[in-house]
Chain A
Amino acid sequence: MSIHIKDLTVTFKNGVTAINHADLEIPNGIFGLLGENGAGKTTLMRVLTTVLKPVSGTVALDKILYSEGNYKKIQRKIGYLPQEIELYPNLTVQECLEYMGDLAGVPKAECTKRIEYYLKKTSLVEHRKKKMKQLSGGMKRRVGLVQALLNEPEFLIVDEPTTGLDPEERIRIRNLLVDFSENRTVLFSTHVVEDLAATCNQLAIIQKGSFLYAGLVRNLAEEAQGKIWICKASDEEKAREVECQYRITSKQYVEGGLQLRVISERMPELECVSVPATLEDAYIYVTSQAR
């Protein structure tokens, strides 16, 4: 399953354009959507889940065009985990999933089987009788992921599933997403570069409603090769001067001054060495180029 977005524009009633003539192709597998807060990631996801209607442009799921008449067909193929969903606090994990599976139209016997399978996969079996309000943030997110998978969607959309989680839970969620991406398309939105580096082969960077980059993760890193420098500033004054001239991605005190990670097309006029670019460097490079 692949998704084709062509010349998509979304404008809100207050005149703000959240997505501006965007083109994108999301292939099978896990696809990352990276962007700062307010870049338009959630808006794009809301269009893909049929919650929002675009002002212009087309979206197609395989060959099914997003239009009022096709919404039913499209909705059946989608699983969605919104950014800040609060599942029924007074229901147990099992009840909550049964309830949502029933609403999704999954036959009862099939639903029970799937719940069993996904609870095992997400290590939630021993928590199935706990009320939703008794779960930790990470567990809630895992239950949210299971509810999105109950109808066996061909297209799974997850909006910042790792936000606010501790490192262990983040790794667990990431691994689950990779497991579940087999034979389906997963759109994984986040503003945490690390999460995408660990899970995706392909990604798109969105800023102010436009895509700055769409392609392979490794190619993105290459875009910034030769433009990342580790520089040493003798004191804070010097470091501040460098900060005014260049984009700094990290700064730390070392023996004899400050060490700065600088993004620059040419070598800064300091004691510098060129270092390989990470995905985070590449992301900052691409977004700062667009500013």
Chain B
Amino acid sequence: MEKETKIVLPFYKIAYAVFFVIILSLIRGVTHTYEVGIAIEAPLAILTTVFCADTYVQEIMSKRSEVHRLYPIKRRFCSIMERIMIQEIFLLVLAIAGYGLFFIVQKPITHPVTENETIQFAVYCFAITITIFFWGILVNTLSMFFRNMWMGIGGCLLIWMVANSRGGENVFGAWNLFSYMFRNIENTADITWLYGKALYICIGLILLATLPNIIRRRG
């Protein structure tokens, strides 16, 4: 685990991720507390995409993958899973820290119709965990499939743009990948946005299931 951490969390990645969240909290204006999660989710999906794109592809770029081909698939799969987990835990901690940073920098106020702050924070943690989980796995899968991290990032960006748009909201509704952002704030009883998150989890798990096969054929 320690070695995997050193491999996937070099200083430059930690630095740009931290700066990204700091800059986001400075430039993205929010008035009410319910807007904080909304302000963070989509940009963090992009950060996750860029951050996790080289999870395995770094092995291809450095030609280590030719040696990795001689290793048992199970061990290679476990190694990739560990790497994804380490990066996603780091991003989750960063996302939670970013939530707090918005409160410090922007000092948002509580909107009278929204839930209390603790529930809002819990809902945010739940939503952002799934967002990070999904985009981390998606970008790694695409990058491995195309053996190119830019293809992975580009593919994710395309999906991100479709999902994070008015059109995406209208077409996919509660099944949108960013359903947490587009949920009805004033109707706290409406939990249909969870469909979108459930979809995230399902697709993520399917992608994980295909990973051994992708390692075998494209690794």
Instruction: Please judge, given known A-B contacts A86-B63, A86-B64, A148-B67, whether A105 and B3 are in contact too, CB under 8 Å.
Output: no
Number of A-B residue pairs, CB cutoff 8 Å, is 65
Contact assessment for B75 and A105 in the assembled complex, using a CB-CB cutoff below 8 Å: yes
**Nearest-CB distance from B186 to chain A (Å)?**
49
Q: Which residue of B lies closest to A102 (CB)?
A: B75
Are A95 and B6 interface neighbours, CB within 8 A?
yes
B63's partner among A49, A85, A151 (CB-CB below 8 A) is: A85
A86 to B70, CA, bound (A): 17
Contact status of A46 and B64, CB under 8 A, knowing A90-B10, A99-B3, A103-B75: no
Which of A75, A88, A105, A148 makes the CB contact (< 8 A) with B69? Answer: A75
Interface hub of A81, A87, A90 (most chain B Cβ within 10 A): A90
B117 at the interface (CB under 8 A from A): no
Q: Is A98 an interface residue (CB 8 A)?
A: yes
A84 to B6, CA, bound (A): 22
Would you call B69 and A100 a contact (CB within 8 A)?
A: no
Max chain B Cβ within 10 angstroms of own Cβ: one of A46, A88, A91, A102: A88
A147 at the binding interface (Cβ < 8 Å):
yes
Instruction: Determine if B32 is an interface residue (Cβ-Cβ < 8 Å).
Output: no
CB distance from A59 to the nearest CB of B (A): 15
Complex: how many Å from CA A263 to CA B30? 81
Q: List 16 A-B contacts (CB under 8 A).
A: A49-B70, A72-B72, A75-B71, A79-B70, A80-B67, A83-B63, A85-B63, A85-B67, A88-B7, A90-B6, A100-B67, A102-B75, A103-B68, A103-B79, A104-B70, A147-B67
B: residues with CB less than 8 A from A are: 3, 6-7, 10, 62-64, 66-72, 75-76, 79
